[in-house]
Amino acid sequence: MATAHIDTFVYDRLPPPDQRAITPFEGLDWQCPERVNLVAVLLDDAVASRGFTERVMLRSDGQSLTYGEALLRVNQICRVLVDDLGLQSGQRVLLRGGNSIVLALSWLAVVKAGGIAVATMPLLRAKELGEIIEKSRPSLTICEALWLDEMTVAIASADSVELPVVTFNATGHVGDEARDLMRMSKEKPTSFDAVKVLADDIALLAFTSGTTGKPKAVCHSHCDVLASCQAWPKHVLQLVSSDIVVGSPPLAFTFGLGAMLIYPMWAGASVYFPAKGYTPESMVQTLNRAQATVTVTAPTLYRQMAPFAATHTLPSLRLSVSASEGLADATRGLWRDATGVEMIDGIGATEMFHIFISSAGSEVKRGAIGKVVPGYQAKVVDENGNELPRGKIGKLAVIGPTSCKYLDDPRQTNYVKSGWNCPGDAFLQDEEGYFVYQSRADDMIITAGYNVGGPEVEDALMRHEAVAECGVIGKPDDERGMIVKAFVVLKPGFVASASLIETLQAHVKATIAPYKYPREIEFLASLPRTETGKLQRFKLKGNTP
């Protein structure tokens, strides 16, 4: 193995070959070039050879950019990154902001310039950002001005990190406009040759919070992203160039990055980004106003959108994609009754970049997520990795053209076993080959499409002076799939009360991303533990009605 990157920080910290999963390319009818840049394939080629120059690529309430215009803007940003800021291939660039045209252009420019994009959720707090900075060691930050405060605190707290910051959408933010990325790039040349790295060179780091709460950085290469385009988007989603995609998943999630940027570009389609986040009603209104043909979000939002969709006509909508959490048949039926559109369900993983089990149209089967996507292989196995008979519940194992590569993390061997990726989900496969989701095999809490590690919430609670010890679990919930529930033992001198619950909830919101806060808190005299002191989460779950 080799790298064409000048900065080899990531390359030097990739898992050794014997800890990686098998990556067969069967079923794709595609081979990745030895040297390639995914942005050159998706954007430059769209203009140079695919005839998409005048097609609209990016839309918002007050702006739209064609593929030709987007290419020029991306090239100008590349010039700022390389000529003004000295970005070298292989260096990491931290991206922070809500979904927007500028964030999409910035992500593409970083990768086209040979950098490694590290997109982060805008709701993350300084503590969480600091952990990402420590892990990825970025050379530069591109941050939306609205979200700059926590980033500034995180950088100031980081040990021995010099991290220049440029902003975007800085209008009205005093002191930020001089370093505004679009202002800096405005007069730059509009030509830039994509840095052609090796196909296996890393293009992005995607952070996922495991059950330990410590951030894991998943590395995906240029080839990984391009190969994924040949799998689920080609065989299941089947976007066309006339499609307009509207959705809620953040570009910081690989699900959002694929569904809301990479896969529409692969098809020559268009993506709409709102000026502000969505409410259920405003998303339905946007679907109507934008004449969206495809919508992408989590089941929680579909359930909330359905009553509004039932009172609107959405004549252009032809595809609805659900992922990020389990899709109940009741939710599928509710949305179908409201819109007449059958939902495409799917399961993927940050570690695998995107969806690997899914079905659409006439292939949809009630109660099942779907069949394995062409290009991938999946099986249900026992504790020893032996494939189980159809109808038996076990753990899912997957291989395909994308695979888990953690950055400098011993947990690699927990995820990859005997050459197979093991996402930690319990499934059964029926006689027709459909995979039926059962539960998480670990203690990850999936609430409204967000992954929350219980220990991370526990750590935040333990930082409050009233908390002696605590345990956090996911409690089933009809609205959100799961909610975060905390069991708290108080220190002497503190009394359980409704006001204290509110205080603790506010404390968690101020410490970590607000969506991770415990919606329920129950006070106990003690927590169930083993003789060696380990928390028995299964007993806490049994304590939840």
386-416 pLDDT tens trace: 999 999 989 999 999 999 999 999 999 999 9
Domain boundaries, the chain: 444-542
Amino acid (one-letter) located at 397: A
Reply yes or no on whether the pLDDT at 240 is more than 80. Answer: yes
69 φ/ψ angles, rounded to the nearest 5 degrees: -70, -40
Task: Report which DSSP code applies to 21.
Answer: P
Rounded Cα gap, residues 112 and 78, in angstroms: 7
Are the C-beta atoms of 35 and 4 separated by less than 8 Å?
yes
Residue 438's pLDDT is what? Answer: 78
Model confidence, pTM: 0.87
pLDDT digits (tens, 9 = 90+) for 159-183: 767 799 999 987 655 555 568 999 9
Kindly state the percentage of the chain with pLDDT values over 90: 74
Neighbours of 4 (CB within 10 A): 16
Residue matched to tokens 């946007």: 286
Strands 244-247, 202-209: parallel, antiparallel or unpaired by DSSP? unpaired
Kindly state the percentage of the chain with pLDDT values over 70: 95
Residues in contact with 330: Cβ distance below 8 Å, sequence separation at least 6, in sequence order:
none
Residue matched to tokens 């930690």: 424
Handedness of CA 171, 177, 181, 184 (dihedral sign): positive
Residue 56's pLDDT is what? Answer: 98
pLDDT digits (tens, 9 = 90+) for 468-481: 889 999 999 988 99
Neighbours of 48 (CB within 10 A): 12
Residue 329's pLDDT is what? Answer: 80
List residues bridging with 93 in a β-sheet.
117, 140
Reply yes or no on whether the pLDDT at 153 is more than 60. Answer: yes
Are the C-beta atoms of 155 and 141 separated by less than 8 Å?
yes
**Is the domain covering 444-542 a CATH 3.30.300.30 domain?**
yes
Q: Where are the alpha helices (DSSP H) in 113-261?
A: 126-136, 148-157, 181-185, 222-229, 232, 254-257
Residue 26's pLDDT is what? Answer: 84
Residue matched to tokens 């920080």: 9
What's the mean per-residue pLDDT of the chain?
A: 91
Rounded Cα gap, residues 163 and 152, in angstroms: 10
Which of these, 499, 66, 15, lies nearest to 268 by C-alpha position? 66
Residue 54's pLDDT is what? Answer: 97
Which of these, 135, 206, 199, 518, lies nearest to 348 by C-alpha position? 206
